[in-house]
Amino acid sequence: MTINRIGLIGLGIMGKPMAKNLLLAKHNLGLYARNPATLESFTTNNIEKYSSPAELAENCDITITMVSDSPDVEEVIMGKAGIIDGAKSKHLVIDMSTISPKLTRSIAQSLKAKNIDMLDAPVSGGEQGAIDGTLSIMVGGSVEAFNYAYPVLQVLGKNIVHIGDHGAGQVSKACNQILAAQTVAAVGEAFLLAKSSGVDPNKVREALLGGFANSKVLELHGKRILEANYKPGFKAKLHYKDIGIALKSAEENNIAIPGTIMIEKYLRKLVEQGDGELDSAAIGKIVLDGNG
Amino acid sequence: MTINRIGLIGLGIMGKPMAKNLLLAKHNLGLYARNPATLESFTTNNIEKYSSPAELAENCDITITMVSDSPDVEEVIMGKAGIIDGAKSKHLVIDMSTISPKLTRSIAQSLKAKNIDMLDAPVSGGEQGAIDGTLSIMVGGSVEAFNYAYPVLQVLGKNIVHIGDHGAGQVSKACNQILAAQTVAAVGEAFLLAKSSGVDPNKVREALLGGFANSKVLELHGKRILEANYKPGFKAKLHYKDIGIALKSAEENNIAIPGTIMIEKYLRKLVEQGDGELDSAAIGKIVLDGNG
B255: which chain A residues are within 8 Å (Cβ-Cβ)? 192-193, 196, 290
Mean pLDDT of A111-118: 98
Among this protein's residues, is A265 annotated catalytic?
no
Q: Is A161 in the same domain as A22?
A: yes
Domain boundary among A134, A165, A196: A165
Candidates A171, A196, A248, partner chain B, best to mutate (most B CBs within 10 A): A171
Model confidence at B247: pLDDT above 50: yes
**Closest CA in chain B for residue A138:** B207
Distance from the Cα of A235 to chain B's closest Cα (Å) equals: 14
Residue A220 included in any domain: yes
How many of the other CB atoms lie within 10 Å of CB of A248? 15
Query: Higher model confidence: residue B49 or residue A34?
Result: B49
Residue B211 and residue A136: Cβ atoms within 8 Å? Answer: yes
- Residue B39 falls inside a structural domain: yes
- d(C-alpha B173, C-alpha B175), whole Å: 5
* A160 shares its domain with A110: yes
CATH number at residue A266: 1.10.1040.10
Are the beta carbons of A197 and B171 separated by less than 8 Å? yes
- B58/B127 same-domain check: yes
Residues of A with CB below 8 A from B193's CB?
171, 174-175, 178, 246, 249-250, 253, 255, 257
Confidence of residue A17 (pLDDT cuts 50, 70, 90): very high
A69 CB neighbour count, 10 Å cutoff: 16
Q: Are A65 and A77 in contact (CB under 8 A)?
A: yes
- DSSP state, B88? P
User: Is A121 part of a structural domain of the chain?
Assistant: yes
Tell if the CB–CB gap between B190 and A197 is shorter than 8 Å: no
| Residues A185, A67 share a domain | no
Look up the domain containing A219 and give its range. Answer: 171-289
Beta-bridge partners for A32? A9
Is B83 within the bounds of a domain?
yes
**Residue B126 confidence (pLDDT):** 86
Residue B109, pLDDT above cutoff 90:
yes
Q: Do B176 and A190 touch (CB under 8 A)?
A: yes
Helices B216-226/B168-196 angle, 10° precision: 50
The reply to whether A33 and A149 lie within a common domain is yes
Is A16 in the same domain as A161?
yes
**Which CA distances in Å does A7 have to A114, A121, A157, A244?**
19, 15, 18, 29
Q: Do B27 and B143 share a structural domain?
A: yes
Q: Do B250 and A193 touch (CB under 8 A)?
A: yes
Q: Which of B118, B137, B165 is the last residue of a domain?
A: B165
pLDDT at B268 over 70: yes
Averaged pLDDT for residues B71-100: 97
CA distance to A196, B70, B165, per residue, from B104 (Å): 17, 9, 11
Let me know how long chain A is: 292
A91 vs A115: CA distance, rounded Å: 8
Q: Which amino acid is at A90?
A: K
Over residues A119-141, the pLDDT tens digits come to 999 999 888 899 999 999 999 99
CATH at residue B107: 3.40.50.720
Collapsed DSSP state (helix, strand, coil) of residue B233: coil
Nearest to A172 among B172, B204, B214 (CB): B204
A200's enclosing H/E stretch is none
What is the pLDDT averaged over residues B274-286?
A: 97
Active-site choice (B26, B80, B173, B237): B173
pLDDT in tens, A228-263: 999 988 999 999 999 999 999 999 999 999 999 999
Residues A130, A257 within the same domain: no
Partners of residue A164 in chain B, C-beta under 8 Å: 198-200, 203
Instruction: State how many domains chain B has.
Output: 2
Query: Residue B1: inside a domain, yes or no?
Result: no
The CA distance from B63 to the nearest CA of chain A, in Å, is: 23
pLDDT at A1: 73
Nearest Cα of chain B lies from the Cα of A17 at a distance, in angstroms, of 18
| pLDDT band for position B292 (cuts 50, 70, 90) | very low
- Fill in the amino acid letter for B135: L
- In which band, very low, low, confident or very high, does the pLDDT at B233 lie, cut at 50, 70 and 90? confident
B128 and B40 co-located in one domain: yes
Which one is predicted more confidently, B199 or B212? Answer: B199
Q: Which band of pLDDT confidence, cut at 50, 70 and 90, is reported for residue B181?
A: very high
> Mean pLDDT throughout A166-192?
98
Instruction: Measure A190 CA to nearest chain B CA, in Å.
Output: 5
Interface predicted TM-score (ipTM): 0.96
Residues linked to residue B95 through DSSP beta bridges, in sequence order: B65, B120
- Domain assignment present for residue A188? The answer is yes
The reply to whether A188 and A229 lie within a common domain is yes
Angle between helix axes B236-253 and B101-112 (nearest 10 degrees) is: 80
Does A1 reside within a domain? no
> Does the pLDDT at position A154 exceed 60?
yes
The answer, yes or no, to whether residue A149 has pLDDT greater than 50, is: yes
- The rounded Cα B62 to chain-centroid distance in angstroms is 19
| pLDDT at residue B127, rounded to an integer | 87
Instruction: Tell me how close the Cα of A119 comes to any Cα of chain B, in angstroms.
Output: 15
- Residue ending a domain, among A144, A165, A186, is A165
* Whether A124 and A200 share a structural domain: no
What integer pLDDT is reported at residue A126 of this predicted model? Answer: 86
A255: chain B residues, CB-CB within 8 Å: 192-193, 196, 290
Please report whether residue B249 resides in a domain.
yes
Chain A residues with CB under 8 Å of B257 CB are 189, 192-193, 292
Q: Region A149-177: what's the mean pLDDT?
A: 98
| Mean pLDDT for the stretch of residues B102-122 | 98
Q: Which pLDDT score, from 0 to 100, does residue B291 have?
A: 57
Residues B110 and B181 both lie in one domain: no
**C-alpha radius of gyration, chain B, whole number:** 20
Q: Which of the residue ranges A217-221, B103-107, B127-131, B249-253 would you say has the lowest mean pLDDT?
A: B127-131
Which pLDDT score is estimated for A291?
A: 57
| Cross-strand pairs, A6 | A29, A62
Rounded Cα distance between A183 and A281, Å, is: 10
